[in-house]
Amino acid sequence: MSSTIPNPNGQTSLRALRRMIAQRSVLGALEVFAADLGPIFRLSLPGFNAVMLNGAEAARFVLVSGRQDFRWRMEGDPVTALLRHGVLVEDGDSHDRLRHAMNPALHRQMLQTYLTAMARGTDAVIARWSESQHIDMLVEMRRAALLILLETLYKVDFAPELDRLWQAVLKTLAYISPGLWMFSSRLPRPGYAAGLRQMDDYLYRIIRLRRQHIGQADDLLGLLVSDPAMDDGLIRDQLLTMLIAGHDTSTALLSWALYLLGQHPAILRQLQDEIIATCGQHPPTLEQLHQLRLLDQIIDESLRLYPPIHLGSRRAAVDLTFNGHTIPAGTRVLYSIYLTHRTHPHWDDPHQFRPQRFAPDAPKPPPYAFLPFGGGPRNCIGAAYAQLEAKVVLARILQQVDLTLLPRPVHAHMGATLEPRPGVFMNIRRRA
């Protein structure tokens, strides 16, 4: 016998509103709903109705046990409209074929070949910094992530294009960020069309240029243009998917990690000591990166507190049952990675920054309680790449500069990813 999916009552809604205003984030409201209503509740707003799931069992249900009964692709959704037939929004055999075609460029055995470019991209960004500036690490990590992704996966030097295409990238990201489009997909989005045209012109240009050297197939772009099943439009969709999903998630992870380290200067100094003792002043090797245990723990704890992909969205293809509640076919189903990472049964003092909870001898969380890269057959294809990039970038920064966080209010902004807004402002001092 199924029961009605809980709806927030007036009292719960009022507390949620107060929390949202205090934290300047919808996430505060969701925490109140989850605390009062449990692992499943309904979100009902004018023009927007969805069911929200949270917790490890909910994640297992969406990502594994009930996977075949959910659909990613939602026609009319801004993400689908932007990425068209990108691997992120495809279902079934289409998704599997695209993932198989892209996987070699993101496989762990390829990561060694990306180290030099990752360090070089980071160094190029650091070289721009002046000790007289207040550095916004949100902006700077976006620059680094863009330069690194384009050079490693597409084998192009993006530096000459960065300033020209910077606003185009930002406008494209804004289009798929939560906003008023949730209530009406017809609302205007100033600057989006022009920004997308610029991005498309650039992507089609590098596709044409690579087709002139089609034998070069050791990177993502090379693999795609060498695949006879891929036309230029389908290749564009995969390149834009990786450009949006790949660089924006890295931007968020790196920014939050630096923010949390700035809040905890003792841990920052400990990490810096570990990096210098292991790597000296030279770009780290893969073997040295494997030795940076504290860095691993800090990255995992940053991902736990502020998972870049904080929310997953699906549509129920059939009537489903979860936790004794029926979810009708056609319902938009959201599952909150953010709430799952902050659920008390899974985590001790879940709101506290404690990297040691990921130490080798620490108790392991239950399956699907920690899922910064998703889980199951559709887990993030670039997870290993993203983790390596984060380690290289953070190591190179801390090898070269000392950081001090400026005391400015920061809130978690639910954009295309979970970002620290208005930014992570730091003073730097170059190390001797």
Closest CA to 226 of 212, 237, 239, 240: 212
Cβ neighbours for 372, distance < 8 A, ≥ 6 positions apart: 300, 303, 304, 307, 308, 309, 337, 341
Structure-model confidence comparison of residues 316 and 109, the more confident one? 316
Q: Across residues 210-220, what is the average pLDDT?
A: 78
Between the CA of residue 226 and those of 101, 152, 207, 234, 248, what are the distances in Å?
A: 10, 17, 11, 13, 27
User: Could you tell me whether strands 332-336 and 311-316 are parallel, antiparallel, or unpaired per DSSP bridges?
Assistant: antiparallel
Residue in this structure with the two tokens 């695209």, named with its chain if needed: 98
Q: How many domains does the chain have?
A: 2
Residue 226 and residue 175 share a domain: yes
Q: Which two tokens stand for residue 93?
A: 């055999």
The parent domain of residue 338 ranges over 1-71+310-354
What tokens were used for 293?
């245990």
Q: Report how many helices (DSSP H) and strands (DSSP E) the chain contains, helices first.
A: 17, 12
Same domain, 200 and 165: yes
Does a structural domain hold residue 348? yes
What phi, psi does 143 have (nearest 5°)? -60, -50
Give the residue from 354, 389, 408 where a domain finishes. 354
Based on the domain organization, do 148 and 265 belong to the same domain? Answer: yes
In a domain, 54, yes or no: yes
Res 372 pLDDT > 70: yes
**pTM recorded for the entire structure:** 0.93
Same domain, residue pair 114 and 60: no
The verdict on residue 360 lying in a domain is no
Residue 191 and residue 167 in contact, taking contact as beta carbons nearer than 8 Å: yes
- Give the mean pLDDT of 59-73: 90
255, two tokens: 């920014």
* pLDDT at residue number 75: 74
Among residues 325, 354, 383, which one ends one of the domains?
A: 354
Is residue 420 helix, strand or coil? Answer: strand
- Same domain? For 81 and 39 the reply is no
Residue 366 belongs to a domain: no
Q: What are phi and psi of 316, to 5 degrees?
A: -70, 125
What mean pLDDT is reported for the chain?
A: 89
pLDDT value of residue 63: 93
**In this predicted model, what pLDDT tens digit does every residue of 10-49 receive, in sequence order?**
999 999 999 988 888 889 999 999 999 999 999 887 667 8
Question: Quick check: 416 and 176 in contact, CB under 8 A?
Answer: yes
Whether residue 363 is contained in a domain is answered as no
Question: What pLDDT does residue 107 have?
Answer: 83
Residues 217-265: tens digit of each pLDDT: 678 999 999 999 999 999 999 999 988 888 889 999 999 999 999 999 9
Residue labelled with tokens 């990201």: 173
* 48 & 130 share domain: no
Reported residue count of the chain is 432
Q: Could you tell me if residue 367 is inside a domain? A: no
Q: Assign residue 36 the CATH number of its domain.
A: 3.30.43.20
Question: Of 297, 322, 354, which residue is a domain's last?
Answer: 354
> What's the whole-number mean pLDDT along residues 345-364?
93
Residue 132 near residue 427 (C-beta atoms within 8 A): no
**C-alpha angle 109/247/265, rounded to 5°?**
95
* Residue whose pair of structure tokens reads 């030099």 in the numeric block: 116
Tens digits of per-residue pLDDT, 129-180?
998 789 999 999 999 999 999 999 988 888 888 888 888 887 777 766 655 4
What CATH number is associated with residue 301?
Answer: 1.10.630.10
Q: Among 195-199, 350-354, 420-424, where is mean pLDDT lowest?
A: 195-199
